[in-house]
Chain A
């Protein structure tokens, strides 16, 4: 899916949150978005998802102008958005069900998808009985199980609440799922290493009002493995990313109190 954001701006009353954001993604591209806290990344994702309206500018997907929420885009939030009253399997099946898949077919699909990420034994657990990492994994499977057409995946700090080890593991699972069924991903994160490790391309945003200040293409071939995390190449990229973010930051004297 080709996403095109052109001249997107958003302000709440007199507060400008986003100012003239433009970028495009290619089909099945994994794009990470990094930027200082409060630069409007979440607002931008909400506008793309159709939960909020832009003040000006437009969002289009494969040439279609988007205005309201639809099942061609799927958001994963920082907090768990699993349905608490449904078991793991029922949560996974929810999207398939509303695509009109028969119950037998979707059950098979859900079970094999859960087995593939090691959640097979937790089929009948309710979300509150799962650990935070498992819950995130279920949510990711619930999103990536949807194919033909695969919805645009919008992730807002999706792994933000996980510990470092679980996070690394989950990143690997996401890469695997993404390679098995490629789709366009917008991946908002604070974690620069995560951005370098997961993405094909990184978009750097400025402090509020947010706009695109730089783009970085990540050259590492896939599949990437954890050796890459500590490699010099990745650390050099991470350093560059950090410098780009730092350069965009206003001087201490100019900054208004947060």
Chain B
């Protein structure tokens, strides 16, 4: 597909730009370390970095998974009836806009600089994003679907399980937003106490002005987040094979496999 090659082209372009700027010594080495030095840092630190990457990736994915489940539950409850909506809307909508980073001091105060504190932070932030997304997606499903399911004898829980939840899958863009958010919050939470992690690595490198290691950690987070996003997209696409080809697909921007 053409779109994929454009992606490769963009990556190559950015890489060349980076090499050019650092190679021509337009900026001091400290401000923009060259790709060679970043690779050099990986060469020296790789045993630590493998561990740090696994720790950060695990934290982010675990928090994202827990947050998605929480968000799914909250979104379903909010759409279930007005009572639940009344209870939860105010909580979700007030937690969501507050930057999770602002709550880090409290988390550490209550739970210490522990894995639990970090996971809780990621889970809550992702949960609120997914909750709003699920709630909006459910409440904007064509009402004929609900009526048809009622007429055909589906119970309330069957309506959700067999009709509403499968129908909203193609529209769950909130999952992708939450996944990206989980990496941002993971790194921020790691600054405040997880020594052996990519966030911790950045903090350690900062003390010695080791900018190539900082750059390396940033790149690794970017790659992890990108891989997560691609995985989510491919899962959503697989679960959406029934959906009508979108306008984007007509222009060849979104790949969709269809039966016929």
Please give the residue numbers on chain A whose beta carbons come within 8 Å of chain B beta carbons, in ascending order: 49, 51, 69, 71, 73-75, 77, 79-87, 94-95, 98-99, 124-129, 142, 146, 151
* Chain A-chain B contacts (Cβ-Cβ < 8 Å), number: 70
- Residue of B145, B155, B244, B259 near A124 (CB, 8 A) is B259
**Nearest-Cβ distance from residue B63 to partner chain A, whole angstroms:** 29
Residue of B nearest to A83 (CB): B163
Q: Are B153 and A128 in contact (CB under 8 A)?
A: no
Q: How far is the CA of A128 from the CA of B155 in the complex (A)?
A: 26
Residues of A within 8 A of B234 (CB): none
**Nearest-Cβ distance from residue A93 to partner chain B, whole angstroms:** 10
Residues of B within 8 A of A124 (CB): 259
Within 8 A of A (CB), among B207-260: 241-244, 258-260
Q: How far is the CA of A74 from the CA of B150 in the complex (A)?
A: 9
- The count of chain B contact residues (Cβ–Cβ below 8 Å) is 24
User: Is the C-beta of B1 less than 8 angstroms from some C-beta in chain A?
Assistant: no
Q: Are A129 and B166 in contact (CB under 8 A)?
A: no
User: Is the C-beta of B167 less than 8 angstroms from some C-beta in chain A?
Assistant: yes
On whether A83 and B158 interact (CB within 8 A), knowing A128-B242, A151-B151, the answer reads no
Q: Majority SS of interface residues in chain A?
A: loop
Q: Are B147 and A51 in contact (CB under 8 A)?
A: yes
- Residue of A74, A79, A85 near B151 (CB, 8 A) is A74
Q: How far is the CA of A75 from the CA of B149 in the complex (A)?
A: 10
Please give the residue numbers on chain B whose beta carbons come within 8 Å of chain A beta carbons, in ascending order: 144-145, 147-155, 158, 162-163, 166-167, 169, 241-244, 258-260
Residue of A nearest to B168 (CB): A85
Q: How far is the CA of A124 from the CA of B151 in the complex (A)?
A: 23
A-B contacts, 26 of them at CB < 8 A, read A69-B147, A69-B150, A71-B150, A71-B151, A74-B151, A75-B147, A75-B151, A77-B148, A81-B144, A81-B145, A83-B145, A83-B163, A86-B242, A94-B149, A94-B152, A94-B162, A98-B152, A98-B153, A98-B154, A98-B158, A126-B242, A128-B244, A129-B258, A142-B152, A146-B152, A151-B151
